[in-house]
């Protein structure tokens, strides 16, 4: 019997990108299935060209908070679809409730999920020790089955969706392999290395690497990126859609980013990655999946990690996990990655 599958992933953008490898495996395990994916409104564009997804539903959480009736109507619309299998890589109470309301006979999620008693199958989810993609794979595979599978995420774009960014790149002289991307922001402040350190690193890379430096981020990051790159870099923060950003990343020589979604964009295209970790730790499982990557972190701090996502302010008040980052050391890491695998134009 062909499965009609509902998959609910309403986490942050980075988590959604990592889930793309799971979409692939769901369709590989159930090749004749119809896969519907529910995501946060605003993130759906990154999946618009994904060949594994049959239907994409953006969920506006803010609207549902305002109106219980709208949420109830949405739950009823799911139930009418008569799904046979519901997969829940997101473990919020709301996601589990949506999965239960779908009426799917089989509902698979994590045993630590909110309202997990509503699930028909609960999978252990270790907080540390496994990559996030491995945790996702465990929803449908045994460890033996997924151990040799590629964990790398996959991003796609429609050609008509990247015409504008091709023009933008041409205007700035950006060609395949001749520029370095820097992403100095994050949703969480304690995941952000100070702008002054990014600036020192960027200026040195601009002078000594032979590559152009391009700053990326959302519209909210325009001023931060201007602070980091004014005078030497190209600031494209807020100027690209998610599909355009995917294309921009795919042609870059190197990604330098805090522990945030740009790391996972880079992994999708196997772009060498320098990842700066502060409040969080690699052991949480959100590390780069590119063949060449280096993680910059300050060891020996008993306060790390201070939270699974980071936070707004350093609980200890010193913020040493980021303030102790050395731009000169980061430059040496970038040089090391250049020697290993920089793409040449």
Structural domain including 205 reads 164-341
- The set of residues, in sequence order, having a beta carbon less than 8 Å from that of 261 and lying 6+ positions away, is 12, 13, 14, 17
Coil, strand or helix: which one is 64?
helix
Q: How confident is the model at residue 81 (pLDDT cuts 50, 70, 90)?
A: very high
pLDDT tens per residue across span 123-144:
999 989 999 999 999 999 999 9
Q: How confident is the model at residue 62 (pLDDT cuts 50, 70, 90)?
A: confident
Judge if 233 and 276 occupy the same domain. Answer: yes
Task: Tell me what pLDDT residue 75 has.
Answer: 92
Task: Tell me what pLDDT residue 71 has.
Answer: 86
Q: How many whole angstroms separate alpha carbon 289 and alpha carbon 275?
A: 11
Judge if 130 and 179 occupy the same domain. Answer: no
**How many domains does the chain contain in total?**
2
Q: How many whole angstroms separate alpha carbon 272 and alpha carbon 236?
A: 20
Q: How confident is the model at residue 1 (pLDDT cuts 50, 70, 90)?
A: low
Judge if 49 and 82 occupy the same domain. Answer: yes
Q: How many whole angstroms separate alpha carbon 289 and alpha carbon 21?
A: 11
Q: How confident is the model at residue 342 (pLDDT cuts 50, 70, 90)?
A: very low
Across the strands, what pairs with 235? 215
Judge if 132 and 11 occupy the same domain. Answer: yes
pLDDT at residue 343 greater than cutoff 60: no
pLDDT tens per residue across span 37-61:
999 999 999 999 999 999 999 998 8
Judge if 88 and 175 occupy the same domain. Answer: no
Q: Is residue 324 part of a domain?
A: yes
Q: What is the CATH number of the domain that holds 140?
A: 3.40.50.2000
Closest to 257 (Cα-Cα) out of 182, 334, 323, 331: 182
Q: How many whole angstroms separate alpha carbon 60 and alpha carbon 260?
A: 22
pLDDT tens per residue across span 174-209:
999 999 999 999 999 999 999 999 999 999 999 999
Task: Tell me what pLDDT residue 164 has.
Answer: 96
pLDDT at residue 341 greater than cutoff 80: no
Judge if 126 and 177 occupy the same domain. Answer: no
To the nearest 10 degrees (0 to 180), the angle between helices 68-79 and 93-101 is 50
Helix (H) or strand (E) holding 55: strand 55-59
Q: Is residue 156 part of a domain?
A: no
Q: How many whole angstroms separate alpha carbon 91 and alpha carbon 99?
A: 11
Which one-letter DSSP state was computed for residue 301? -
To which residue do tokens 């392999």 refer? 177
- The set of residues, in sequence order, having a beta carbon less than 8 Å from that of 72 and lying 6+ positions away, is none
pLDDT tens per residue across span 297-314:
999 999 999 988 888 999
Mean pLDDT score across all residues of the chain: 94
Judge if 200 and 123 occupy the same domain. Answer: no
Q: Is residue 29 part of a domain?
A: yes
pLDDT tens per residue across span 2-41:
899 999 999 999 999 999 999 999 999 999 999 999 999 9
Across residues 260-273, what is the average pLDDT?
Answer: 98
Judge if 132 and 168 occupy the same domain. Answer: no
pLDDT tens per residue across span 243-260:
999 999 999 999 999 999
Judge if 74 and 208 occupy the same domain. Answer: no
Q: Lay out the sheet containing 106-110: strands in order across.
A: 55-59, 34-40, 4-8, 85-87, 106-110, 121-123
Confirm if 123 and 111 have CB atoms less than 8 A apart. yes
Task: Tell me what pLDDT residue 344 has.
Answer: 45
Distance of CA 223 to the CA centre of its chain: 22
Judge if 129 and 183 occupy the same domain. Answer: no
Q: Is residue 58 part of a domain?
A: yes
Task: Tell me what pLDDT residue 224 has.
Answer: 98
Judge if 86 and 203 occupy the same domain. Answer: no
Q: Is residue 151 part of a domain?
A: no
pLDDT at residue 320 greater than cutoff 80: yes
Task: Tell me what pLDDT residue 223 has.
Answer: 97
Task: Tell me what pLDDT residue 114 has.
Answer: 93
């Amino acid at each position: 019997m062909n499965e009609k599958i509902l998959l609910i992933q309403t986490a942050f953008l980075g988590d959604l990108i990592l889930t793309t490898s799971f979409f692939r495996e769901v369709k590989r395990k159930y090749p004749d299935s119809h896969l519907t994916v529910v995501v946060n409104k605003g993130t759906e564009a990154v999946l618009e060209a994904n060949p594994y997804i049959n239907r994409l539903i953006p969920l506006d959480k803010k609207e549902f908070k305002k109106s219980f009736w709208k949420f109830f109507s949405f739950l009823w619309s799911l139930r009418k679809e008569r799904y046979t299998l519901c997969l829940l890589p997101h473990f919020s109470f709301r996601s589990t409730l949506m999965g239960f309301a779908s009426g799917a006979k089989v509902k698979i999620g994590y045993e630590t999920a909110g309202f997990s008693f509503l699930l028909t199958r609960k999978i252990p989810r270790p907080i540390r020790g496994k990559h996030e993609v491995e945790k996702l794979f465990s929803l449908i595979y045994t460890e033996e089955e997924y151990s040799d599978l590629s964990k790398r995420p996959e991003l796609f774009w429609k050609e008509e969706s990247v015409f504008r960014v091709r023009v933008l790149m041409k205007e700035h002289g950006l060609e395949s392999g001749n520029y370095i991307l820097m992403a100095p922001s994050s949703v969480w402040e304690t995941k952000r290395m100070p702008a002054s350190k990014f600036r020192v690193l960027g200026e040195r890379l601009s002078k000594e690497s032979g590559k152009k430096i391009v700053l990326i981020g959302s519209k909210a990051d325009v001023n931060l990126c201007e602070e980091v790159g004014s005078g030497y870099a190209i600031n494209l923060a807020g100027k690209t859609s998610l599909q355009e950003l995917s294309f921009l990343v795919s042609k870059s020589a190197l990604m330098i980013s805090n522990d945030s979604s740009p790391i996972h964009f880079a992994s999708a295209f196997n772009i060498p990655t320098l990842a700066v970790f502060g409040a969080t730790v690699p052991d949480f499982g959100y590390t780069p999946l590119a063949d060449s990557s280096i993680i910059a972190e300050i060891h020996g701090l008993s306060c790390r990690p201070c939270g699974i996502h980071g936070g707004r302010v350093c609980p200890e008040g010193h913020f040493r996990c980021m303030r102790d980052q050395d731009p000169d050391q980061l430059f040496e890491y970038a040089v090391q990655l250049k020697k290993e695998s920089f793409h040449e134009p």
